[in-house]
Amino acid sequence: MSDPILRIRNLQVTAPDGRALTRGIDVDLAPGEVLGLIGESGAGKSTIGLAALGYGRGGCRISGGTVEVADRQIVPGTRRDREQVRGARVAYVAQSAAAAFNPAQRLGEQMIEAALYHGTMTRPEAEAWRDELIRVLQLPNPETFPDRYPHQVSGGQLQRAMIAMAMACRPDILVLDEPTTALDVTTQIEVLVLLRGLIRRYGTAALYITHDLAVVAQISDRIMVLRHGELVEQGTAQAILEAPQQDYTRRLVAERGAHERLAATRSPGAEILSVERLKVFYGHNQALHDVSLTLGRGETLAIVGESGSGKSTLARAIAGLPPFSQGRMRFDGAELPARFQKRSQDMLRRIQLVYQLPDVALNPRQTIAEIIGRPLQLYFGLRGKALAEGVARLLADVGLPADFAARLPGALSGGQKQRVCVARALAAQPDLIICDEVTSALDPLVAEEVLQLLARLQQERGLAYLFITHDLGVVRRIADRTLVMQKGRVVEEGPTETIFTPPWQGYTGELITSVPEMRRDWLDGLLATRGQALETAK
Amino acid sequence: MRKPTFTAWIGLAILAAYLVILIAGPHLAPFGQEDIIGSPFGDPEPGHPLGFDQNGRDMLSRLLYGGQMSIGVSLAAVLISFAVGIPMGFMAAIRGGWFDTILSRLVDTIMCVPVLISALVVLQALGSSLPVLVLTIALLDSTRVFRLSRVLAQGVGALEFAEVARLRGEGNWWLIRKEILPNVASPLVAEFGLRFCFTFLFVAGLSFLGLGVQPPFADWGGMVKDNQQAIVYGLYAPLYPAAAIAILTVGVNLVVDWMLAGRSAPQGDNR
Q: Cα separations (Å) of A410 from A363, A382, A406, A417, B200?
A: 10, 26, 12, 9, 39
Predicted pLDDT of residue A258:
60
Closest-CA distance of chain A to residue B131, Å: 38
Predicted pLDDT of residue B56:
75
Nearest residue to A48 via CA among A177, A173, A241 = A177
User: How far is A360 from B267, CA to CA, in rounded Å?
Assistant: 10
Classify burial at A63, counting beta carbons within 10 Å of its beta carbon; exposed 0-12, middle 13-18, buried 19 or more.
middle
Q: Which residues of A touch B (CB under 8 A)?
A: 319-321, 340, 345, 348-349, 353, 355, 357, 359-366, 374-375, 378, 424, 428
Beta bridge pairs of residue A173? A90, A205
Q: Is the pLDDT of residue A26 over 50?
A: yes
Express each pLDDT in A156-168 by its tens digit.
Answer: 888 889 999 999 9
Contact A4, A172 (CB under 8 A): no
Q: Are strands A481-486 and A334-335 parallel, antiparallel or unpaired?
A: unpaired
Question: Residue B166 and residue A340: Cβ atoms within 8 Å?
Answer: yes
Report, as an integer, the average pLDDT of A463-471.
Answer: 89
Three-class DSSP category at A386: helix
Q: Which of B1, B95, B167, B180 to mutate to test the interface with A (most CBs of A within 10 A)?
A: B167
Three-class DSSP category at A451: helix
CA-atom Rg of chain A in angstroms: 25
Q: Where are the alpha helices (DSSP H) in A55-207?
A: 79-85, 97-100, 107-118, 123-136, 155-166, 185-202
pTM for this predicted structure: 0.77
Query: Which conformational region is residue A322 in: left (phi greater than 0), alpha (psi within -120 to 50 degrees), or beta?
Result: beta
User: How far is A232 from A106, CA to CA, in rounded Å?
Assistant: 43
* Lowest mean pLDDT across A63-72, A243-252, B29-38: B29-38
* Lowest mean pLDDT across A290-299, A395-404, A506-515: A506-515
Contact A22, A43 (CB under 8 A): no
Q: Order the strands of the A72-75 sheet from edge to edge.
A: A20-29, A6-14, A61-69, A72-75
Bigger pLDDT: B269 vs A434: A434
Q: Is the pLDDT of residue A349 over 60?
A: yes
Q: Which of A339, A355, A363 to mutate to test the interface with B (most CBs of B within 10 A)?
A: A363
Where residue A265 falls among pLDDT bands split at 50, 70, 90?
Answer: low
Contact A160, A188 (CB under 8 A): no
- On whether residue B38 sits in a domain, the answer given is no
Contact B237, B53 (CB under 8 A): yes
Domains, chain A: 6-257 (3.40.50.300), 271-501 (3.40.50.300)
Beta bridge pairs of residue A353? A434
Q: Is the pLDDT of residue A446 over 90?
A: no
Express each pLDDT in A378-391 by its tens digit.
Answer: 999 888 899 999 99
Q: Domain range for residue B108?
A: 7-28+57-262
Contact A491, A484 (CB under 8 A): yes
Give percent of chain A with pLDDT exceeding 90.
22
Find the residue in A nearest to B180 (Cα): A363
- On whether residue B267 sits in a domain, the answer given is no
User: How far is A164 from A129, CA to CA, in rounded Å?
Assistant: 10
Report, as an integer, the average pLDDT of B95-117.
Answer: 90
Question: Residue A360 and residue B169: Cβ atoms within 8 Å?
Answer: no
- On whether residue B36 sits in a domain, the answer given is no
Q: Is the pLDDT of residue A259 over 70?
A: no
Q: Is the pLDDT of residue A534 over 80?
A: no
Q: Cα separations (Å) of A365 from A342, A411, A417, A525, B265?
A: 29, 11, 14, 51, 15
Average pLDDT over chain A, rounded to an integer: 86
Express each pLDDT in A409-441 by its tens digit.
Answer: 888 888 889 999 999 999 999 999 999 888 887
Predicted pLDDT of residue A512:
82
Contact B257, B8 (CB under 8 A): yes
Give the number of domains in chain B: 1
Q: Is the pLDDT of residue B265 over 80?
A: no
Q: Are strands A271-282 and A61-69 parallel, antiparallel or unpaired?
A: unpaired
Instruction: Check which CATH number belongs to the domain holding B109 and give it.
Output: 1.10.3720.10
Predicted pLDDT of residue A228:
86
Q: Are strands A205-210 and A34-38 parallel, antiparallel or unpaired?
A: parallel
Closest-CA distance of chain B to residue A424, Å: 10
Question: Residue B167 and residue A361: Cβ atoms within 8 Å?
Answer: no
Report, as an integer, the average pLDDT of B81-88.
Answer: 92
Predicted pLDDT of residue B266:
38
Report, as an integer, the average pLDDT of A434-454.
Answer: 85
According to DSSP, residue A502 is labeled S
Where residue A174 falls among pLDDT bands split at 50, 70, 90?
Answer: very high
Predicted pLDDT of residue A536:
46
Report, as an integer, the average pLDDT of A309-315.
Answer: 86
- Cα A53-A55-A58 angle, rounded to 5 deg: 150
Residue type, B179: E
Closest-CA distance of chain B to residue A365, Å: 6
- On whether residue B179 sits in a domain, the answer given is yes
Q: Is the pLDDT of residue A461 over 80?
A: yes
3-state secondary structure A286-321: EEEEEEEEEEECCCEEEEECCCCCCHHHHHHHHHCC
User: How far is A167 from A93, CA to CA, in rounded Å?
Assistant: 10
Bigger pLDDT: B50 vs A398: A398
Express each pLDDT in B112-147 by its tens digit.
Answer: 988 888 888 888 888 878 888 889 889 999 999 999
Which contacts qualify for A527-534: CB closer than 8 Å, 24 or more apart? A527/A193, A534/A189, A534/A190, A534/A193
Q: Is the pLDDT of residue A538 over 60?
A: no
Q: Is the pLDDT of residue A476 over 50?
A: yes
Chain A partners within 8 Å of B183 (Cβ): 363-365
According to DSSP, residue B236 is labeled S
Report, as an integer, the average pLDDT of B57-64.
Answer: 82
Question: Residue A363 and residue B160: Cβ atoms within 8 Å?
Answer: no
Express each pLDDT in B156-193 by its tens digit.
Answer: 888 889 999 989 988 888 888 889 988 888 888 888 88
Express each pLDDT in A111-139 by its tens digit.
Answer: 999 999 998 899 999 999 999 999 988 88
User: How far is B84 from A484, CA to CA, in rounded Å?
Assistant: 51
Chain A partners within 8 Å of B159 (Cβ): 360
- On whether residue B39 sits in a domain, the answer given is no
- On whether residue B239 sits in a domain, the answer given is yes
Question: B183 at the A interface (CB within 8 A)?
Answer: yes
Where residue A496 falls among pLDDT bands split at 50, 70, 90?
Answer: confident
According to DSSP, residue A69 is labeled E
Closest-CA distance of chain A to residue B5, Å: 19
Q: Is the pLDDT of residue A323 over 80?
A: no
Question: B114 at the A interface (CB within 8 A)?
Answer: no
Nearest residue to A211 via CA among A173, A244, A255 = A255
